Structure 1
């Protein structure tokens, strides 16, 4: 079965016309793929209640770009990529006949992925800018997942009289982590561009052992929809902006942290470029959020929290293949006294970078899987800044044959409050961080970011 592409036209008053039929793309023709049931692991199950991950990739198109051919190539290569990544064309469900907490990804011949083609006549600021923009303007470029447990949806939106293209990809996190999803995207892009694709995915989830009964524990204690209520609805006034740290600036942060550690007579923490960037952003975010309390020094024994994902593939026993398609990450939860993050200059940077480095080391060496869910529920109400994405995913290398993206956004951080991290597409070196805040919070963060950079010079 095949469908014609759906064209959604939008005028400047934000009126839309929708086709009643949805376009789907299926794994490419060839020997029939068998019906498959792929059980979720303990790494997967706790993502079931979370909102999906929404990415948007912005591309500039040449004035003479053959748009019909471009879109045809995108759709055809998607079908080819899905043949290797067929679980993403399936649906997550309760496993029939099993205990009510057991879930699997069920693929049956005929399952596919919705691919929407849209046209957006947007008469505002450049959506691919680093400057603050309305999240609502960007969010509609990411497709919604259909009901019924669908895992993946794609939308190609022609922008500004066909001078640009936004490729929106929405993925249910229970299907796979960022390493798995970007492996799929790199495979799709290489297939479309006629390049050599990366290694095929490893789909066998029996590679993930569960000797402690963690699946049942996590399934029974999953974060509820009520606990996630604040991240389900997108705030109407939310802004999104990107902040970059060059290689030179990252080295300045490392030097400041090392120098402060020496002055305190303590060994400097292991401060990679990622740790330096995250420590810097955490300090800026905290100071912007705390506002006048920072100047007043109005903190007692209160603590604040930061969380980032640690990939356990290489640390598992035995190691899990790099190309494993599924989740194999766990959070490193880092804790710092608010009064120390409120300190001026390198003192707060040393605290932030030290606890992030220590949190990563602990998550690798001695992950506390049994109490992890309870720990997350304990700290979440007090506020926790988390990380989405990774510079290791090389999202700015996704060339489908019409150039690399000029901007990549993880739109879903506007719901979760996370920081979106990637390699720096604009500078060629360094890192970039996507932040989403209401207008007043964004102004405060911009001021704190600028002031903190000035202190490093």
Structure 2
């Protein structure tokens, strides 16, 4: 029976479960969680959506597209079995139960089939555009993760939770969207991107009546023994994570009220202009560094414009956090197709007064570059300081801090299910996300999620800053 959800934006027409082809030789697979995974123990689930232009009727969608996508998803899960497994997390410290992803024969991914039922003015063109839209409107295209359960294993009370859900939403005669919600514990951005790319590639092969799926270069690497943990960080992170979970349970749930999502495009010429502005201080600086630095300074200036100003002693500190992919930087390196999390944080700190000063952008770029260099090139390896990361975060509790999601290195717009590349890819509910531009070589799409007032202030400052610098 159809149901209406998401402020009457979509009507759900089907809930189903997609399992990989049965392999009776394997009844259970266990994939232990590493310290890289447990770093995200209390992180909110991640929401992503791809928009595809395709003039398709409701009948064609239900009878042709959906069956193909179901079949190709099942074939993909044959290789990415952890995505249809369950997280097994102890609720108390114990020596009996190790946090794992457990796959049992018959496990599945929840798939929701929906049809847009909102007003035409807020349909496909509106939702896939760059202007500010209510976050809840976009979240109507992303399913919830099914509710987990508690059970007892070897005397321990454990939480058993799904890790991925998918939603296909039709906009009749316009296109469709593919929404994902996943636990960060099972995958970082690279792993999730690899999974979605594999699903798209298998579906495209189906359209061309090709069935050589097993010959494709999509098989992930699972071996956890390549992750060395001499400092026993997995135990440390589990202990801290369980304590934090208890504290979070007492706090009020976050609300999306007044939050809007928007995208700002910045082209190659504008990025080069930003690099030129710091040329004297930083002759060699990456696109990632200058764009992050510019966004950071614009955020600080927007806060000042809204009256969230500097204190009397100018001692307010702001912290900018980046996720560093360690796969090629560990000793020894691990394969690029490693499935799971393999990122560590790099942190930069500046006073608000310095960020909003005349040289704030140059200072921010210099400090971000320095933090990345120190984290990547220090003699103790890329993981230096990770064991005390939570202590650091507790020490800056109450300070302004935010990070960047996504990566310009991931080919989101190459995700072609056989009907063309996406019109739009959206990282939902992340304050700041970076995506390579769909339309211009060397450009970027900057995803933003703020309150309406913050968004207005930020976009004005961001745009005017480029104009004033003559790089528009």
Normalization by structure 2: what TM-score? 0.86
User: Residue 310 of structure 1 aligns to a residue in which SS?
Assistant: strand
Root mean square deviation, CA, Å: 2.7
Q: 1:188 aligns with which of 199, 204, 207?
A: 199
Shift of the alpha carbon at 1:94? 3.2
Q: 2:225 aligns with which of 206, 223, 227?
A: 206
**2: distance between equivalents of 1:47 and 1:284?**
28
- Alignment map for 1:230-379 (pairs within 5 Å): 232-259=253-280, 261=281, 268=282, 270-291=284-305, 300-344=314-358, 347-366=359-378, 367-379=384-396
**Equivalences, count:** 436
Is 2:147 the counterpart of 1:147?
yes
Shift of the alpha carbon at 1:32? 4.4
**2: distance between equivalents of 1:144 and 1:63?**
26
What corresponds to 2:74 in structure 1?
Answer: 79
Normalization by structure 1: what TM-score? 0.89
What corresponds to 1:25 in structure 2?
Answer: 18
CA contact (8 A) 1:49 1:225 kept: no
- Alignment map for 1:349-428 (pairs within 5 Å): 349-366=361-378, 367-413=384-430, 418-428=431-441
**1: distance between equivalents of 2:292 and 2:145?**
31
Q: 1:116 aligns with which of 112, 127, 135?
A: 112
Shift of the alpha carbon at 1:392? 1.3
Displaced runs of 4 or more, over 4 A = 6-11, 15-19, 29-32, 95-98, 227-232, 292-299
Alignment deviations for residues 287-314 of structure 1 (CA, whole Å, 9 cap, x no partner): 1122266998966232211001001111
**2: distance between equivalents of 1:340 and 1:439?**
26
- Stretch deviating more after TM superposition (214-223 or 71-80): 214-223
Alignment deviations for residues 364-416 of structure 1 (CA, whole Å, 9 cap, x no partner): 23421221111122224212121111111111111001111111111131xxx
Q: 1:47 aligns with which of 30, 35, 40?
A: 40
CA contact (8 A) 1:299 1:338 kept: no
What corresponds to 1:14 in structure 2?
Answer: 8
Q: 1:156 aligns with which of 146, 168, 172?
A: 168
Q: 1:106 aligns with which of 91, 102, 106?
A: 102
What corresponds to 2:132 in structure 1?
Answer: 132
- Stretch deviating more after TM superposition (328-337 or 364-373): 364-373
In structure 1, runs of 5+ residues without a counterpart are 1-5, 262-267
In structure 2, runs of 5+ residues without a counterpart are 149-160, 379-383
Alignment deviations for residues 71-103 of structure 1 (CA, whole Å, 9 cap, x no partner): 111111000000000011100113799626731
User: Residue 319 of structure 2 aligns to a residue in which SS?
Assistant: strand
Shift of the alpha carbon at 1:118? 0.3
What corresponds to 2:459 in structure 1?
Answer: 446
